[in-house]
Amino acid sequence: MLRRILGKEIAHYVGAHKGLLACSLLLTALSALFVVVPAYLLQPFIDEGMKSGSDPVSWKIPWASFNSWDPSTWRRTELVLIEGISPNRLLLLLTLVAFAAVVVKSGAVYFSQLAAAAFSNRAVRNIRTELFGKFISLPAGFYHKQKIGELISRSTADLTVMQERISTILIGLVEYPLTALAFLVYLFLMNYRLTLIVFITVPVIVGLIRLFGRNVKKHSVDVQEALSHVTSSYQESISCLKVIQGFCKDEEECSKFRSLVDRHYQNIMKWSRWFLGLGPMMDSTVFLILPLALIVGKIYFQHSLGELMSLIYAFSRVYSPIKSLARVNNDLRTLQGATDRVFGILGTVSEIRDKDRAIQLPRHKEAIQLNGVDFSYGDSPVLTDISLTIRAGEMVAFVGSTGSGKSTLLDLIPRFYDVTKGSVTIDGIDIRDVSLRSLREQIGIVSQEIMLFHDTISNNIAYGSRRNSHERIVAAAEAACAHEFIMAQPKGYDTVVGDRGTLLSGGQRQRIAIARAIMSDPAILILDEAASALDAESEGLIQETISKLKGRMTILIVAHRLSTVREADRIYVLERGRIIESGAQDELLALNGRFRQLHDMQFKA
């Protein structure tokens, strides 16, 4: 049943909390049945309890008798609950019953909603956790095709829609039909003919619900898409703040953002017209027929004042849950739109994943090999026919023009991307045959764009290691030539580095990143443009660090600054995705080829 209502995706998460769900729905059903109690109390309260004098009265409720399913045999009768009681005592009794009904209903509603809040929030908590896990497990190629802000919107706005509507829908689908049914039973017991006259409006209401529901879902998806564009613009503008301010593009960016906000507003208003329009349409339909029905009840059926007041109350209340069901239908359509967006991501199959029966990669001791490797981004070739061997403990550098494929080549080793053709092996084992964890645990990575967490220096260094101690953290910092500047910070290793490490200089962030990589005790260290944006002093410290590490691990360097690759055992020169030269620095200089050109441009300048 849950699958049919919420869809199989959400039903899986809600169904995991069956106890809370059952408790909430049972209490909801109980509270719904108590809603009709005032209708049963109103007629005796007016017709019997308000009588003058002390003549005994009775408490009767409408009942029915019938001999077959033939409506002509149906007769309204009355079930006497109490008789021979004074009007004042009857009023007191009816008041106590009403009070007890209110207490029971209120308690049932409170605990029902509490249980509903628990199961819906737990379900969304689990979805949110899985969505985060999916985000950090998807390969880099996935994010080349997506706007980060739109993905953030799906993990915030869409999940908020789920959180707000799951419990509302499930409780509503129990509460409102039962409430309507309870009042319908009362109305049929009072006068089934009059009730049938009133309910000729039902087909019209059903048609309105379906029409409005379809449009609510359509515009709900549009609203969420527009909101994701707004979120994306926020994220992009904050990330590029210096560029915007530096080029004086404040007004242009505000204008672009205003157009996105206007689009979101327009979609919100379209959704609101359909979402809010159903109630007034239903009210108009109902109240066109209700006065006529009551006039017929008084003139044709000769109902007493108490019965008429009770009928008015019941008729007014029976349409309220039907109208609320229409809102539940709108909520369900809105939920479906959010579900499609969230589970569109959760259903994404990662191209980079462990194969069945993936093996554990032993610690690297022999060689890394690329065998006839081709790689493409979509239809754009990046690497072509790359074959090379890197022995354990070597320092190997990759140089070349921007866009020649250097960084992409190194991204293939930790399987951030998979080769289009050929293979990458470590110690003779194809890396596609090993588990990603066992592969990546052996690799330390330091990139040009250093990302540090808003945390202490100590925790940032320890991030890549499971065996953390202050002594090991200090040792890693000393190996990265970072200990001295860390101790000069206000709180030493307990200094918080700020968002993305912005409270540190570029060189300091680089050395923290190298310390983090060393802390993980990698067999392979990848340095991707690790010194390209640094001043001479910081570059010298990075080179000193690399010299200390040489021989302790296999070091792979991508560099624009050729001064950082002098100590490399071998240098590969790439051009347009192909290796065009390789050898030690002196050998490459002697060739008078592309490496010589790059060298002379830098050092003669």
Q: What is the DSSP letter of 564?
A: G
Q: Exposure of 300 by Cβ count < 10 A (0-12 exposed, 13-18 middle, 19+ buried)?
A: exposed
pLDDT band at 394 (very low <50, low <70, confident <90, very high): very high
Residue 301 has pLDDT above 60, yes or no: no
| Contact indicator for 123, 16 with CB cutoff of 8 Å | yes
Q: How far apart are CA 602 and CA 542, in angstroms?
A: 19
Q: Which of 493, 486, 480 is nearest to 541 (CA)?
A: 480
Q: What is the DSSP letter of 553?
A: B
**Prediction pTM value:** 0.73
Look up residue 52 and give its two tokens.
């003058």
Residue 111 has pLDDT above 90, yes or no: yes
Q: How far apart are CA 307 and CA 70, in angstroms?
A: 25
Q: How many residues does the chain have?
A: 605
Percentage of residues in the chain having pLDDT higher than 70: 84
**Radius of gyration, alpha carbons of the chain:** 37
Mean pLDDT for 363-373 is 94
Map tokens 């032993």 to a residue. Answer: 362
pLDDT band at 351 (very low <50, low <70, confident <90, very high): confident
Q: What is the pLDDT of residues 406-425, one digit of tens each?
A: 989 999 999 989 999 999 99
Look up residue 586 and give its two tokens.
């002196």
Q: How far apart are CA 187 and CA 177, in angstroms?
A: 15
Distances (CA, A) of 574 to 369, 389, 405: 17, 15, 7
Taking all residues of the chain, what is their mean pLDDT, rounded to a whole number?
82
| Contact indicator for 547, 532 with CB cutoff of 8 Å | no
Mean pLDDT for 271-298 is 66
Q: What is the pLDDT of residues 199-251, one digit of tens each?
A: 666 666 667 667 776 777 677 778 877 877 777 776 667 666 655 665 566 77
Query: Domain ranges in the chain?
Result: 2-346, 367-604
pLDDT band at 383 (very low <50, low <70, confident <90, very high): very high
Of 77-86, 298-307, 512-521, 543-552, least confident by mean pLDDT is 298-307
Residue 588 has pLDDT above 80, yes or no: yes
| Contact indicator for 595, 423 with CB cutoff of 8 Å | no
Name residues whose C-beta falls within 8 Å of residue 59's C-beta, 6 or more positions apart in sequence. 44, 48, 80, 81, 82, 83, 85, 90, 93, 94
Residue 388 has pLDDT above 90, yes or no: yes
Q: What is the DSSP letter of 347?
A: T
Q: How far apart are CA 179 and CA 43, in angstroms?
A: 19
DSSP assignment of 33-78 equals HHTTHHHHHHHHIIIIIT-SSS--EEEEEEEEE-SSS-GGG-EEEE
Tell me, what's the pLDDT at 362?
94
Q: How far apart are CA 433 and CA 198, in angstroms?
A: 71
- What is the dotted CATH code of the domain comprising 2-346? 1.20.1560.10
DSSP assignment of 361-430 equals PPPP-SEEEEEEEEEEETTEEEEEEEEEEEETT-EEEEEESTTSSHHHHHHTTTTSS--SEEEEEETTEE
Map tokens 């109350």 to a residue. Answer: 313
Name residues whose C-beta falls within 8 Å of residue 312's C-beta, 6 or more positions apart in sequence. 294
Report angle CA 113, 115, 116 to the nearest 5 degrees: 60
- Characterize the bridge pairing of strands 443-447 and 380-391: unpaired
Look up residue 153 and give its two tokens.
């919107």
Q: Looking at the domain 367-604, which fold is it?
A: Rossmann fold (3.40.50)
Q: How far apart are CA 413 and CA 423, in angstroms?
A: 10
Tell me, what's the pLDDT at 295?
65
Q: How far apart are CA 298 and CA 320, in angstroms?
A: 23
Distances (CA, A) of 209 to 279, 284, 319: 10, 14, 13
Tell me, what's the pLDDT at 151?
79
Q: How far apart are CA 65 and CA 52, in angstroms?
A: 32
Answer with the residue of higher pLDDT: 298 or 152: 152
Of 254-263, 436-445, 548-557, least confident by mean pLDDT is 254-263
Q: How far apart are CA 155 and CA 163, in angstroms?
A: 12
DSSP assignment of 186-205 equals HHHHHHHHHHHHHGGGHHHH
Mean pLDDT for 171-176 is 91
